[in-house]
Amino acid sequence: MNVTIVDYQSGNISSVINSFKQVAKDKVNIKITSDLNKIKLSDKLILPGQGSFKSCVDSLNRINGLHDALKEFAIINKKPLLGICVGLQMFGDVGYEESETKGLGWIPGKVTKIDNQNGKFKLPHIGWNEIEIVKESKILKDIQNKSHMYFVHSYEFVPGDKSVITATTDYSSKIVCSIEKDNLFGTQFHPEKSDKTGLKVIENFLNL
């Protein structure tokens, strides 16, 4: 099985690569590339995201044909794709970080700044936080409710259809931290930085 981490210069993703290789061992071929043909021929994709919504979208759009290749892979061919942090946020229609920026438009919704209640909550939201599993999810299989995951973000994805939400975290409000829609999976938390529980999320995705 070929699993590809999409390389579109979204920041340091070495921890993503290392964690997926650690879980996969020698059973799965893990590679990182921006080569469109290799992406199209993959069995599964990981779309990481580090930085602002606008910078990640801009970086992705700078690679000619990548937007269409991802759409063909995930929306037309319906192969499994996992978005991490801003990678998940980009599933939405639009984001408002830095300036209004169009997303991939795969899952109706918007990316807005976390309401920190006039400074009551620090932004960015950094560190470990408890997740509440609200719906069965393939990537959350065998993960205990109220497990702790690692977060680094100031913006949240607000989907139009609440049925895609599989887990939330409480930080000023109920923030969406895991979604699933058909072959699309996303986590606002960083599974690659979330110790053994995060590695289990990665294992579940690789075992789909």
* Mean predicted confidence (pLDDT) in 121-126: 95
Residue-level pLDDT at 174? 96
Q: Which member of 98, 153, 192, 203 is catalytic? A: 192
Per-residue pLDDT at 10 exceeds 70 = no
Which class for 192: exposed (0-12), middle (13-18), buried (19 or more C-beta within 10 A)? buried
Given a cut of 70, whether residue 162 has pLDDT beyond it is yes
Q: Which of 56, 85, 153, 177 is catalytic?
A: 85
Active site residue: 97, 153, 180, 190, which one?
Answer: 190
Q: Roughly how many angstroms between the first and final C-alpha of the chain, as a whole number?
A: 11
Q: What is the arithmetic mean of pLDDT over 91-117?
A: 96
For 24-62, write each residue's pLDDT tens digit.
988 899 999 999 999 999 999 999 998 999 999 999 999
Distance CA(15)–CA(101), nearest Å, equals 27
Does residue 192 have an active-site annotation? Answer: yes
pTM of the model: 0.96
Within 13 Å, how many C-alpha atoms sit on residue 37's CB side?
Answer: 0
Residues paired with 51 in a beta bridge: none
CATH code of the domain made up of 2-206: 3.40.50.880
Q: How far apart are CA 85 and CA 136, in angstroms?
A: 20
Confidence at residue 9, expressed as pLDDT on a 0 to 100 scale: 77
Report the pLDDT averaged over residues 126-133.
Answer: 98
Cβ atoms of 122 and 116 within 8 Å: the answer is yes
Domain extents for the chain? 2-206
Taking the C-alpha atoms of residue 92 and residue 88, their distance in angstroms, rounded to an integer, is 8
Report the C-alpha gap between 192 and 23 in whole angstroms. Answer: 10
Mean pLDDT of 57-83: 97
- Coil, helix or strand for 37? helix
In the predicted structure, residue 12 carries a pLDDT above the cut 80: no
